[in-house]
Structure 1
Amino acid sequence: MMVKAKQVKKPSADIGQIRLIGGQWRGRKLPVLNSEGLRPTSDRVKETLFNWLMFDVRGTVCLDLFAGSGSLGFEALSRGAQRLVMVEKEARVARQLELNLASLPGAEGKVINSDAQTYLAGPPEPFDLVFLDPPFHQDLLSQVCTRLEQDGWLAPEARIYIEREQISNEPALPGNWRRLKDKRAGQVSYQLYQREQTE
């Protein structure tokens, strides 16, 4: 009698994953939907960033404005951030972020299915820590940073992380943002800023 070979189910090409590299959920892997323009921050860059932020994450209210995979926001939660808001314009990616958030016990946060500009046109709340990793080649940073500063989205000494393509022009940033750190990895340039109070 001929026995049929068991069919092995291949993992979907539409699903990737990110790994939390520190904090209470260290080593936890979360599924990510593959989507055009989605580039999860590499573990090497993420490790550098959170070394920079080592003493500045716990208890913060965070905004991940171009959330995508949620890699930076989830890492902040794992390391003790109090609450996280993730903004993602693609509906199915936003839904996956909601599922991932719900899978982390006790995580405080919400996912907003919106583009960044529409979200920033709404009523502001001040954030302590903001992650800006927009899609490449869309020249979004200057206008978004201006709105964050002018429209009440930043706590007095907020920290702002920016990740962008290295070949792009320097974005025009508010004059009271002080650059704390600056590094490059491959095609990516990334910086950490601190907002200083204006008179």
Structure 2
Amino acid sequence: MRIITGIYKGRHFDIPRTFKARPTTDFAKENIFNVLNGYIDLEDAIALDLFSGTGSISLELVSRGCQSVISVEADRDHHAFIKQCLKKLGTDRCIALRGDVFRFIKSCHQQFDFIFADPPYALPELPTLPKLILERGLLKPNGIFVFEHGKNNSFEDVPGFIEHRAYGSVNFSIFSNREPEGEDE
């Protein structure tokens, strides 16, 4: 796993072979971040990475200048790996939490400029996540939410949906709670 750009560009981390998590491919990660450049400036943003897995996205967000990142992962070994990577980078801009994402969402009172979620594709609750995250008010006004999912899911009918991108077998749906442009009455 490598960090694509930013202050830690090119740093590599070897993922233990015992891990079940599949990190977002470098190809997909690079492309989705290129798309995001048109929607949000991550410099000094407050970000949330749900189902962090190996921490690939959290590390990328820190490298790209986010003011703070909260990384939520339930698996004990994955959580420990994320903490180990953060320690190697010597950064305090990411808080790695070990816990259930749904409990976190229900109890979180903070708002974020950017949210990324990469749940297991077979997660039974996967189809409910975009609506849940958007309805809980976790996004700041004009915030961006990127949801990674399998090819068999479509979220075009969810309020706040902006666009869908696919890179190989990796699919992203992008959402926002952008304020409507000044409408005349």
Which residue of structure 1 lines up, in the alignment, with residue 8 of structure 2?
25
Shift of 1:172: 7.4
Which residue of structure 1 lines up, in the alignment, with residue 41 of structure 2?
56
Q: For the residues of structure 2 that align with 1:182 and 1:152, how far apart are their CA atoms? A: 22
Residue aligned with 1:30, SS = coil
Q: Which has the higher contact order (CA 8 A, sep 6+)?
A: 2
What is the one-letter code of the residue matched to 1:92?
D
Which residue of structure 1 lines up, in the alignment, with residue 172 of structure 2?
190
The correspondence for 1:67, drawn from 52, 55, 74, is 52
| Cα distance change on mapping 1:147 and 1:124 into 2, 3 Å | farther
| Cα distance change on mapping 1:146 and 1:193 into 2, 3 Å | closer
Q: 5+ unaligned residues in a row in structure 1: which ranges?
A: 1-17
Contact 1:77-1:107 at 8 Å conserved across structures: no
Q: For the residues of structure 1 that align with 2:13 and 2:113, how far apart are their CA atoms? A: 25
Q: For the residues of structure 2 that align with 1:99 and 1:115, how far apart are their CA atoms? A: 20
Which residue of structure 2 lines up, in the alignment, with residue 169 of structure 1?
153
Shift of 1:90: 0.6
| Alignment root-mean-square deviation, CA | 1.9
| Cα distance change on mapping 1:94 and 1:117 into 2, 3 Å | same
Contact 2:130-2:147 at 8 Å conserved across structures: no
Q: For the residues of structure 1 that align with 2:72 and 2:102, how far apart are their CA atoms? A: 10
What is the one-letter code of the residue matched to 1:26?
K
Q: For the residues of structure 2 that align with 1:188 and 1:109, how far apart are their CA atoms? A: 25
Contact 1:61-1:81 at 8 Å conserved across structures: yes
Residue aligned with 1:31, SS = coil
Greater strand share, structure number: 1
| Cα distance change on mapping 1:182 and 1:144 into 2, 3 Å | closer
Which residue of structure 1 lines up, in the alignment, with residue 183 of structure 2?
none
What is the one-letter code of the residue matched to 2:47?
C
- How many pairs align? 177
What is the one-letter code of the residue matched to 1:188?
V
Task: Map 1:84-163; keep pairs closer than 5 Å.
Answer: 84-163=69-148
| Cα distance change on mapping 1:100 and 1:26 into 2, 3 Å | same
| Cα distance change on mapping 1:149 and 1:24 into 2, 3 Å | same
Which has the higher Rg, Structure 1 or Structure 2? 1
Q: 5+ unaligned residues in a row in structure 2: which ranges?
A: 181-185
| Cα distance change on mapping 1:139 and 1:188 into 2, 3 Å | farther
Which residue of structure 2 lines up, in the alignment, with residue 3 of structure 1?
none
What is the one-letter code of the residue matched to 1:153?
L
Shift of 1:174: 4.1
Residue aligned with 1:103, SS = helix
Contact 1:184-1:190 at 8 Å conserved across structures: yes
If the length of structure 2 is used for normalisation, what is the TM-score? Answer: 0.86
